[in-house]
Copies of this chain bind each other. A is one copy, B any other.
Amino acid sequence: MSIYVHGIGMTPFGKLEDRTLKDLMLKASFEALNDAGNPEVDAVFVGNFMGGSINNQEILGAIVANDLGLGYIPTAKVEGACASGGIAFRQAVLGIMSGEYETVLVVGVEKMKHVSTLDVTQAINAAMDNDSNEKHAGLTFPGFFGVLANRYFYETDATKEHLAMVALKNRENAINHPLAQFKKPTSIDEIINARLITEPLGLFDCSPTTDGASAIVISKEKSNIKLLASAQASGPTQMQGAEDLLSLPAVRESGRIAYEKAGLGPRDIDVVEIHDCFSITEIISSEELGFFNKREGYKAIEEGKTKPNGEIPINTSGGLLSKGHPIGATGISQLHQIVLQLRGNAPNQVEGARIGLAQNLGGTGSYSTVHILEKV
When the two chains form their complex, are residues B97 and A56 in contact, meaning their CB atoms are under 8 A apart? no
Determine the residue in chain B with the shortest Cβ distance to A128: B59
CB distance from A51 to the nearest CB of B (A): 7
When the two chains form their complex, are residues A77 and B78 in contact, meaning their CB atoms are under 8 A apart? yes
Give bound CA distance, A65 to B87, whole Å.
16
- Enumerate A29-44 residues with CB–CB distance to B below 8 Å: none
Task: List chain B residues, Cβ under 8 A from A78.
Answer: 76-79
- Enumerate A82-129 residues with CB–CB distance to B below 8 Å: 87, 90-91, 93-95, 97-100, 122-123, 125-129
Give bound CA distance, A237 to B366, whole Å.
32
Which of A67-75, A178-186, A277-285, A316-324 binds B? A67-75
- Tell me which of B91, B94, B129 contacts A59 (CB under 8 A): B129
Task: List chain B residues, Cβ under 8 A from A237.
Answer: 59, 62-63, 66
Determine the residue in chain B with the shortest Cβ distance to A75: B234
- Chain A: residues with Cβ within 8 Å of the partner, total of 61
Task: List chain B residues, Cβ under 8 A from A100.
Answer: 94, 97
- Tell me which of B52, B63, B234 contacts A61 (CB under 8 A): B234
- Does A50 sit at the interface, judged by CB under 8 A? yes
Determine the residue in chain B with the shortest Cβ distance to A92: B94
Determine the residue in chain B with the shortest Cβ distance to A122: B56
- Does A193 sit at the interface, judged by CB under 8 A? no
Task: List chain B residues, Cβ under 8 A from A129.
Answer: 57, 59, 63, 66
When the two chains form their complex, are residues A62 and B362 in contact, meaning their CB atoms are under 8 A apart? yes
Interface-central residue, A53, A81, A93, A238, by most chain B CB under 10 Å: A53
Task: List chain B residues, Cβ under 8 A from A61.
Answer: 80, 234, 367
| Interface CB pairs A-B, < 8 A, 8 | A52-B126, A56-B126, A61-B367, A66-B241, A72-B235, A76-B367, A94-B94, A94-B98
